[in-house]
């Protein structure tokens, strides 16, 4: 997919995707430094990676309703200017922005892998599925492209067809937390071969942005019920609490 839609890696300077200054990389060093990395937050939820204002291991939502996944490995907070890159990738078909985003996540995961016991590292990657009609409309599933980049860079197999969306749900953006959960009820199902593939496997779900965790909770529960030993979430960004408050009245 990438090869058919993207040009080869540039050998001469091109405009940085954020500031337009000449750069030998998609994002110049100055813009990369200014990205809202989650590591800049002193406190984050140990389960969903939500930035916290207090010295706590868990956010209130994870304390009240522990998620079925074990952890989230996320690179950044969904804030300016990263949100513009993600929007350009998903809605404006700027696949070069998608490549830049996958490179950021790969870099983050490679650093995390150095501090992770290999017996805890995922055996396979599962991208969050998109309904066929929405995929046809957009032309691609951004999570599948991300997963393929991650799989190649980190030598982890990708299983894109293990699960699918049964029906086209309303867009999650703008819905309350309760509405999001209701919107995803019975939205996903596993393929017939999934139980054999997932049995005792450590799985990483690949998404672009984690907002309320409703989607990854629903999928994690489905994967574990099919025999997965553990599930964690890999994504580019986590929506901060301030933005959640605006989006979820």
Residues 20-46: tens digit of each pLDDT: 999 999 999 999 999 999 999 989 999
pLDDT at 167: 64
pLDDT at 242: 58
Is 18 part of any domain?
A: no
Tokens encoding 117: 């016991």
| DSSP secondary structure letters along 16-46 | -TTT--EESSSS-HHHHHTS-BGGGSS-B-T
pLDDT at 118: 81
Is 12 part of any domain?
A: no
Residue 178 phi, psi dihedral angles, 5° rounding: -65, -40
Is 33 part of any domain?
A: no
pLDDT at 140: 83
Is 222 part of any domain?
A: yes
Burial class (CB in 10 A: 0-12, 13-18, 19+), 91: exposed
**Cis geometry, peptide bond prior to residue 188 (ω within 30 degrees of 0):** no
Residue 120: which H helix or E strand, with range?
none
Is 8 part of any domain?
A: no
- What is the rounded distance in angstroms from the CA atom of residue 109 to the CA atom of residue 234? 9
Tokens encoding 164: 């699918």
pLDDT at 11: 54
What CATH number did the domain enclosing 227 receive? 3.40.50.2020
* Phi and psi based region of residue 35 (left: phi greater than 0; alpha: psi -120 to 50; beta: remaining): beta
**DSSP designation for 7:** P
Largest CA distance in the chain: 52
pLDDT at 170: 52
Task: Note down the domain range covering 186.
Answer: 38-247
Question: Residue 205: beta bridge partners?
Answer: 126, 233
Is 166 part of any domain?
A: yes
Global pTM reads: 0.85
| DSSP secondary structure letters along 147-215 | HHHHHHHHT--B-TTSEEESS-PPPSTT--HHHHHHHTTT-EEE-TTHHHHHTT-EEEEEEEEESSSHH
pLDDT at 248: 44
Tokens encoding 142: 């951004």
Is 4 part of any domain?
A: no
pLDDT at 8: 45
pLDDT at 130: 87
Low-confidence spans in the chain with pLDDT less than 50? 4-10, 172, 175, 181-182, 246-249
Q: How many domains does the chain have?
A: 1
Is 134 part of any domain?
A: yes
pLDDT at 222: 94
């Amino acid at each position: 997919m990438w090869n058919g839609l993207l040009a080869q890696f540039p050998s001469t300077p091109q405009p940085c995707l954020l500031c337009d200054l000449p750069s030998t990389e998609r994002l110049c060093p100055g813009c990369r430094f200014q990205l809202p990395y989650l590591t800049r937050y002193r406190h984050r939820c140990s389960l969903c990676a939500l930035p916290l204002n207090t010295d706590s291991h868990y956010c209130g939502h994870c304390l009240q309703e522990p998620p079925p996944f074990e952890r989230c490995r996320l690179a950044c907070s969904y804030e300016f200017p990263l949100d513009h890159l993600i929007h350009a990738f998903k809605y404006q078909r700027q696949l070069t922005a998608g490549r830049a985003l996958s490179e950021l996540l790969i870099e983050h995961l490679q650093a995390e892998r150095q501090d992770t016991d290999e017996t805890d590292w995922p055996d396979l990657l599962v991208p969050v599925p998109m309904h066929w009609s929405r995929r046809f409309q957009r032309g691609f599933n951004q999570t599948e492209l991300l997963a393929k980049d991650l799989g190649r860079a980190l030598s982890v197999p990708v299983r894109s067809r293990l699960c699918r969306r049964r029906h086209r749900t309303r867009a999650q953006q703008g819905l309350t937390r309760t509405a999001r959960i209701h919107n995803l009820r019975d939205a996903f199902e596993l393929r017939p071969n999934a139980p054999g593939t997932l049995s005792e496997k450590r799985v990483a779900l690949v998404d672009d942005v984690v907002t309320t965790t409703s989607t990854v909770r629903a999928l994690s529960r489905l994967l574990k019920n099919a025999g997965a030993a553990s599930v964690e979430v890999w994504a580019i960004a986590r929506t901060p609490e301030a933005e959640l408050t605006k989006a979820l009245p």
